[in-house]
Structure 1
Amino acid sequence: MQTPPTLFPASPTFEHYINLFQNLNFDIYLMNTLIIVFFSMGGLLLNTMAGYGFGKFKFKGKEFWFAVVLITMMIPGQVTMIPTYLILNEAGLTNTMTGIVLPGLIVAFNIFLIRQFMVTIPDDLIEAARLDGAGELYIFFKLIIPLTKPILAVQIILTFIGSWNSFIWPLIIASDQSLYTLSVGLALLQDQHVTNYGLQMAGSTFMVVPILIVFILFQKYIVDGFNVSGIK
């Protein structure tokens, strides 16, 4: 805000970060966001199992159901929000953490991306494990998961970013501020403290830094994951 602008602040302070958590409920928003991230990572395991099933198992209607998965990718998320809300409302799950988490557990794009990777794994490798007496769960967790580290790293990043930045769905499904996420809290912060740029920048920084950390940790797998899965 200074003229001429300066690269470093004249008097740096952590006051705004402290204020976020002591007076503006950002600790509650953070806990809600971490819960969504945790269950989204659990959903990633379900997506991996589904992609493995489509890529390596033969069953009746396999191509049809995979086409259904692909078709759902063509439907904008905003179109399905109203019917999803109505279903959850009938089940009594509106304004609950379950209602926020449940629709995001299964993601069609994740299933598609993992399935593309699974078809690159030789069938002979899985058959050899079966001949050695390995069960299906053992094969999945001890053989398939280690082989899918590149694509799982991509999925972890995409899933983390999506769940960490979740905004529209928590805002729709939850009417209680105690269920809001960091993104919703940041939007409220901008509405209530329009002129307090220190608070706004502190909240924005707190939103961005974890994503940068996750990206740095997994960046070496990103290019390999996208190349091997056939996504250009």
Structure 2
Amino acid sequence: MYRSKQLLFYNGKPVQIIVRNYDSKDFDELIEIQSECFPPPFPSELWWNKEQLNNHVTLFPEGALCIEIDGKIVSSLTGLCVNFDPTHPNHSWAEATDHGYITNHDPNGNTLYIVDISVRPAYRSLGLGKIMMQSMYHIVIQLGLDRLLGGGRMPGYHKVAHEMTANEYVEAVLAGKIHDPVISFLLRAGRMPIAVVENYLDDEESLNYGVLMEWKNPFK
């Protein structure tokens, strides 16, 4: 099981964090984090429920990570293993994750698929999302998987959809012409886009698009 203590510096002062696997005692806090991270118009029915979280910690506990500061859970990252064929990338988030229940977790899969990443807004300046992503890269290497993969939201796309296609939007983010809070974060965390997918997620801000972004295992 994963457990790592680190020191971050916030306003010049050291802050200790613990990166660890989450478990059943954390469920209420994890649902609270979801409500903070995905307020309306994001559908509240897509926040975690306890049945989903229980599946996470029983079917693939290695892929259930969180960060704790002063005894408080401030962020989480969840994954499962799937078989992914890069020549046929199209799928929805619901198909890849069984609507977040991960009953399709495949212990023999070749890809660690990110189900969700959430950081409380008050803690986002600490770079916790990147730390969690790097921790999940460790899991990819430990398990000998080909890649880490997941679909990123494109929450800024609705503002410019009348001017450009979804692919053009991603290209503009890559070129540094547009900053997207999700895609730009994933780029900083080491992920690279491989495909834009229609009807990836019921997400008004992204106009239901998602961009698949991967990190390849450098030892494969």
Structure 2 length normalisation: TM-score? 0.23
| Higher RCO (C-alpha 8 Å, min separation 6) | 1
Higher-strand-fraction structure:
2
**Higher helix fraction: Structure 1 or Structure 2?**
1
Larger Rg: 1
TM-score, normalised via structure 1 length: 0.22
